[in-house]
């Protein structure tokens, strides 16, 4: 099932940019869990357009619970979320049916679905589909928090502007502080520089990419499975479902490739409560695919928004000739800002699934 992931907690996403609605179906949530819709709305607002450097398309994106919730609590059955599509301007996309946008799914989708896919606004590949993903992940975050598991993320870089990395150990308030900022970063000054970088790109009818660092705290050691079903594999499968993600690394990631083992290894230690920990966390909380009790840390790389207002070289699918393309419509010059809660959402869903699978022995 292409548009779903997870084992015990299974999330499916549906909808197209310019269809009646979009949504998510979540199967496997524990029953009796309160869903705080205000907190959920605040979480979803973090991925909303309308802020500086984001698209002018702004929709309320209030998730309706079609099923799975009774009197404000999960009722044990599949939770269907539906979000209306209210603000679509299909005319913006009239010229795209025959002229695929470079580095979009347009051409690949044209071949795959023999020209029959509804690709207006990117169709099912649209960034709008991350709204129901956030709704699902926001619910997972609430359930995780009650079990002592917290998920946070921040922009690690935009273009060449760098934020600080997460410290090795983080309390939940640290995540909250980041989330409260217009640009979710640790170093506020870096955030301002990022905004300038984004505005400059917009002024040039261009876009920029960036990286997001995400952390999951509170997962007990011993979760996950070896080889192809480790925590890394589970996160990887889900994270590459977020539009524009082209890279993923865990803990020290690619930096470890330049280090020697003596520097990359995480020495073990025992804290005052007798809990075994590591002194550093280059492993990102995962060894052999299995949690070791340290925070799970990963970094995601997003390419710049491929939709830019500059004329670009494309082709006419019907004529099989080169042609110039001008993309109209409303597009983020930098998707990274809005992608932060999306990464958190995906991380939360994988973490909750992992908790529910547990460690069957």
- Residues 5-64 touching its own copies, rule: CB under 8 A, are 5-8, 10, 12-16, 19-23, 25, 27-28, 30-32, 64
Cβ neighbors of 224 (< 8 A, separation 6 or more) are: 230, 231, 234, 286, 289, 290, 291, 354
CA distance 247 to 211: 9
Taking CB under 8 A as the binding criterion, the range among 144-152, 170-178, 186-194, 286-294 that sits at the site for its own copies is 286-294
Alpha-carbon dihedral sign for residues 180, 183, 187, 188: negative
CB of 177 to its own copies, least distance (A): 24
DSSP state string for 298-341: EEEEEPPPS--SS-EEEEETTTTEEEEE---S---S-THHHHHH
CA distance 287 to 276: 14
Cβ neighbors of 159 (< 8 A, separation 6 or more) are: 194, 197, 201, 208, 209, 210
Could you give the 3-state DSSP secondary structure of residue 172? helix
Total interface residues for its own copies by CB under 8 A: 154
Query: Which residue lies nearer to its own copies by CB, 38 or 203?
Result: 203
Closest CA relative to residue 298, chosen from 230, 227, 239, 225: 239
Taking CB under 8 A as the binding criterion, the range among 37-45, 51-59, 173-181, 255-263 that sits at the site for its own copies is 255-263
Choosing from 199, 229, 328, 330, the residue that interacts with its own copies (CB under 8 A) is 229
Taking CB under 8 A as the binding criterion, the range among 35-43, 117-125, 167-175, 177-185 that sits at the site for its own copies is 117-125
Choosing from 86, 94, 310, 318, the residue that interacts with its own copies (CB under 8 A) is 310
Residues composing the chain: 361
DSSP state string for 20-72: SEEEEEEE-PPTT-B--HHHHHHHHHTT-S-STTS-S-----PPEEEESEETT
Choosing from 125, 166, 174, 175, the residue that interacts with its own copies (CB under 8 A) is 125
Is residue 199 a contact point for its own copies (CB under 8 A)? no
Taking CB under 8 A as the binding criterion, the range among 145-153, 174-182, 187-195, 227-235 that sits at the site for its own copies is 227-235
CB of 219 to its own copies, least distance (A): 11
Could you give the 3-state DSSP secondary structure of residue 205? coil
CB of 270 to its own copies, least distance (A): 5
Is residue 213 a contact point for its own copies (CB under 8 A)? no
Is residue 203 a contact point for its own copies (CB under 8 A)? no
Is residue 105 a contact point for its own copies (CB under 8 A)? yes
Is residue 118 a contact point for its own copies (CB under 8 A)? yes
Cβ neighbors of 19 (< 8 A, separation 6 or more) are: 85, 118
CA distance 30 to 36: 15
CB of 173 to its own copies, least distance (A): 28
Taking CB under 8 A as the binding criterion, the range among 42-50, 52-60, 176-184, 216-224 that sits at the site for its own copies is 216-224
Taking CB under 8 A as the binding criterion, the range among 38-46, 48-56, 187-195, 198-206 that sits at the site for its own copies is 198-206
Give the x-and-dash track for 135-164 against its own copies (CB under 8 A). ----------------------x-xx----
Task: Tell me the β-bridge partners of 93.
Answer: none
């Amino acid at each position: 099932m292409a548009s779903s992931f997870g084992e015990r907690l299974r999330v499916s996403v549906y909808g197209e940019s310019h269809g009646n609605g979009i949504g998510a179906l979540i199967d496997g949530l524990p029953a009796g869990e309160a869903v705080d819709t205000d907190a959920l709305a605040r979480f979803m607002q973090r991925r909303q357009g309308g802020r500086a450097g984001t698209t002018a398309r702004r929709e309320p994106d209030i998730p309706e619970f079609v099923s799975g919730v009774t009197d404000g609590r999960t009722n044990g059955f599949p939770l269907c979320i539906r979000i209306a599509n209210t603000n679509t301007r299909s005319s913006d996309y009239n010229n795209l049916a025959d002229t695929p946008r470079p580095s979009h799914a347009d051409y690949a989708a044209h071949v795959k679905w023999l020209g029959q896919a509804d690709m207006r606004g990117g169709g099912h590949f649209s960034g709008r589909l991350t709204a129901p993903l956030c709704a699902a992940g926001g619910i997972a975050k609430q359930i995780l928090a009650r079990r002592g598991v917290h998920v946070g993320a921040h922009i690690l870089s935009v273009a060449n502007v760098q934020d600080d990395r997460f410290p090795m150990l983080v309390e939940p308030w640290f995540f909250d502080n980041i989330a409260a900022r217009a640009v979710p970063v640790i170093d506020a000054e870096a955030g301002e520089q990022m905004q300038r970088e984004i505005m400059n790109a917009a002024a040039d009818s261009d876009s920029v990419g960036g990286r997001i660092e995400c952390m999951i705290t509170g997962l007990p050691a011993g979760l996950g499975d070896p080889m192809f079903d480790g925590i890394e594999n589970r996160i990887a499968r889900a994270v590459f479902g977020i539009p524009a993600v082209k890279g993923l690394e865990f803990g020290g990631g690619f930096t470890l490739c330049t280090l020697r083992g003596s520097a990359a290894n995480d020495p073990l230690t025992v804290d005052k409560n007798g809990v075994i920990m590591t002194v550093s966390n280059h492993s990102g909380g995962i060894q052999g695919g299995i949690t070791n009790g340290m925070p799970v840390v990963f970094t995601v790389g997003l390419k710049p928004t491929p939709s830019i207002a500059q004329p670009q070289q494309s082709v006419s699918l019907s004529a099989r000739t080169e042609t110039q393309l001008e993309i109209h419509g409303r597009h983020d010059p930098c998707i990274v800002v809005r992608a932060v809660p999306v990464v958190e959402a995906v991380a939360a869903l994988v973490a909750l699934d992992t908790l529910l699978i547990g460690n069957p022995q």
